[in-house]
Amino acid sequence: MASLLPLLACVILCTYYSLAHGGKEHGFVAVPTTASEPEAVCSTSRVRLDPESNTVFVPLVHLHGPCAATQSSDKPSFSERLRRSRARSKYIMSRVSKGMEGTTRDDASVSIPTHLGGSVDSLEYVVTVGLGTPAVSQVLLMDTGSDLSWVQCKPCNSTTCYPQNDPLFDPSKSSTYAPVPCNTDACRNLTGNGYGGNCTSGGGAQCGFAITYGDGSQTTGVYSNEALTLAPGVAVKDFHFGCGHDQGGNNDKYDGLLSLGGAPESLVMQMSSVYGGAFSYCLPALSSQAGFLALGATSSGVNASSFVFTPMIQEQKTYYLVNMTRITVGGESIDVPQSAFSGGMIIDSGTVVTQLQHTAYNALKVVFRRAMAAYPLVPNGELDTCYNFTGYSNVTVPRVALTFSGGATIDLDVPNGILSDDCLAFRESGPDDQAGILGNVNQRTLEVLYDVGRGRVGFRAAAC
């Protein structure tokens, strides 16, 4: 045994030396420590659109950054954001492992069946769209983890609507507003999918809806039909959404939710005859930069080659699931069996850091820590691989690449797709056969294309 020790020591030390100092330097990037600091002013300069005739682009900004038209008073700390995100991801994972049937509350005191949505308090990206005729600006949280969109609507008062900056949407001032009547397929489908559907109110004419989210917030109101303006001159008719007359929970300042899940109630599925059941977004590297949301497949034309694709596993209604097959750190694959990824990965806009299965996470952590061994590791309540970069003007970070089934490989943005608040932006989710979740930090600067119509997910580098 003793004779093996020097060899073993060299395997460890020499690997470290070669990773950190030579040979594999292409797998490492020196970045100024200021690269993670948002600017005080909004920047839109990095958005690189790849437009096709059948797509529409909507600017997308961070709720807490200078690009947002209205500033939320709720500016949660990083650990609070992670706590909210963990509640969201727990909820999503429980839904995925239980199957996707509409969930109904058993509580006998609640007479109407209540649809449970994912949690909304961890959502951080907003888009501004126009609702009604004439169009009224509405700032909506973008959410790939729920299906029924809604806005706060008149009539409601200070107990039933939370404060928002824009004037409340007033159906009576729109010439295109119409409640969805009870005796329609649209209402029956909504009820059938577990969103309440209360045909006794309003003289039996209007279709009610109710959603309770995993974070305890809720909305109820009237399922409605309206014109939705996505961009100047680009309006879709017959957008079905919830006109919310009674909201509660942790909501603040935004006007509602734009839901982009995979079930029939979502904007994507409603508009599939126009936009082919496809949408994409690019989340910017920093909260001071703008990104975009696009409806339609931006990959169908001449520049399809700028995307890499992986098959979408279609068994989930709301969530978008793909298979991951490999993780590379500084050019080296982490050494785990394929079964480490057997649970699949949900791609979600509202989960902050990637939730990785047990075996893969622990292997990633070891390799990443080794690659970052030059920097002092400091404990942090929520994440376990955090660094103290005080005194460094630049930091040498390993590139991290994720490979998905079919070979699609994405390089995470350096440093903002890898590190968040000086921590490795991954954490352990659960057993290997349970789904993980690709978080929004790790998706930064990539255009992520959810091409439901063609059963695939695409990624385009450096899109914003």
Give residues in contact with ligand NAG (CB under 6 A).
30, 50, 112, 157-160, 185-186, 189, 196, 198, 200-201, 208, 210, 220, 302-303, 306, 311, 313, 323, 342, 344, 378, 388, 390-391, 393-394, 405
Q: How far is the CB of 89 from ligand NAG (least distance, A)?
A: 20
185 is catalytic: no
Alpha-carbon distance of 36 to 387, in angstroms, equals 14
Closest to ligand NAG by CB, 87 vs 304, is 304
Alpha-carbon distance of 235 to 269, in angstroms, equals 16
Closest to ligand NAG by CB, 29 vs 401, is 29
Catalytic annotation, pick one of 348, 413, 422, 451:
348
Q: How far is the CB of 139 from ligand NAG (least distance, A)?
A: 24
Compute CA distances 4 → 7, 8, 16, whole Å: 5, 6, 18
Catalytic annotation, pick one of 143, 166, 215, 413:
143
Task: Please name the residues in contact with 21: beta carbons below 8 A apart, sequence gap of 6 or more.
Answer: none
Q: How far is the CB of 69 from ligand NAG (least distance, A)?
A: 28
Task: Please name the residues in contact with 417: beta carbons below 8 A apart, sequence gap of 6 or more.
Answer: 285, 400, 425, 441, 442, 443, 444, 445, 446
Compute CA distances 399 → 25, 112, 249, 332, whole Å: 10, 50, 40, 10
Q: How many CB atoms lie within 10 A of CB 264?
A: 18
Q: How far is the CB of 40 from ligand NAG (least distance, A)?
A: 24
246 is catalytic: no
Angle at 319 between CA 273 and CA 206, to 5 degrees: 60
Alpha-carbon distance of 456 to 436, in angstroms, equals 18
Closest to ligand NAG by CB, 87 vs 269, is 269
Closest to ligand NAG by CB, 3 vs 111, is 111
Asked if residues 290 and 67 have their Cβ atoms less than 8 Å apart, the reply is yes
Closest to ligand NAG by CB, 210 vs 383, is 210
Q: Where are the alpha helices (DSSP H) in 323-464?
A: 358-371
Pairing, β 208-213 against β 115-117: parallel
> For residues 93-128, b (16+ Cβ closer than 10 Å) or e, as one string?
bebbeeeeeebeeeeeeeebbbbbbbbbbbbbbbbb
Q: How far is the CB of 137 from ligand NAG (least distance, A)?
A: 25
Q: How far is the CB of 112 from ligand NAG (least distance, A)?
A: 5
Closest to ligand NAG by CB, 90 vs 188, is 188
Full DSSP string of 112-146: S--EEE---TT--EEEEEEETTTTEEEEEEEETT-
Closest to ligand NAG by CB, 298 vs 416, is 298
Closest to ligand NAG by CB, 50 vs 124, is 50
Q: How far is the CB of 30 from ligand NAG (least distance, A)?
A: 4
Helix (H) or strand (E) segment spanning residue 400 = strand 400-404
Alpha-carbon distance of 118 to 67, in angstroms, equals 26
In terms of C-beta density within 10 A (0-12 exposed, 13-18 middle, 19 or more buried), how is residue 87 classed?
Answer: middle
Q: How far is the CB of 25 from ligand NAG (least distance, A)?
A: 11
Residue keyed to tokens 């969109």: 149
Q: What is the set of active-site residues?
A: 143, 348
